[in-house]
């Protein structure tokens, strides 16, 4: 069960603050520290709730990736975007298909 005090504090975060906190907590996670693991779990739980509420910044990122992929670039950046798109589950059709 999520920590109620942490959940209440995180519920008051703006979407920008939530993204910053998730980014920091992910990069600084100490798996041997139960409190930092619980904090990240509460942050991710709130992020999941936010994502299920409708379009978010992630939707915009996915659209931007999709548009870039559908272009005619064949450089290293394109190859990197293909990997990101697959990881995020972005549905796109290669232009040469």
Return the pLDDT at 90: 72
Return the pLDDT at 71: 65
**Do the beta carbons of residue 72 and residue 94 sit within 8 Å?**
no
Rounded to two decimals, what is the model's pTM? Answer: 0.52
Domain ranges for the chain? 4-52, 57-88
- Spatial separation of the C-alpha atoms in residues 3 and 67, rounded to whole Å: 40
Return the pLDDT at 77: 66
Low pLDDT (below 50) residues in the chain: none
| In the block, residue with structure tokens 């990122």 | 61
Q: Can you list the pairs that 89-95 forms with residues at least 24 positions away whose Cβ atoms lie under 8 Å? A: 90/62, 90/65, 90/66, 91/66, 92/65, 92/66, 94/69, 95/70, 95/71
Tell which phi-psi region holds residue 94, choosing left (phi > 0), alpha (psi between -120 and 50) or beta: beta
């Amino acid at each position: 069960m999520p920590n109620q005090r942490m959940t209440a504090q995180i519920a008051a975060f703006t979407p920008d603050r939530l993204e910053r906190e998730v980014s920091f907590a992910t990069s600084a996670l100490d798996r041997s520290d139960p409190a930092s693991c619980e904090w990240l779990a509460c942050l991710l739980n709130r992020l999941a709730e936010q994502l299920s509420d409708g379009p978010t910044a992630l939707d915009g990122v996915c659209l931007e990736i999709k548009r870039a992929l559908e272009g005619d670039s064949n450089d290293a950046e394109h190859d990197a975007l293909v990997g990101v798109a697959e990881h995020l589950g972005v549905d796109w059709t290669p232009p040469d298909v």
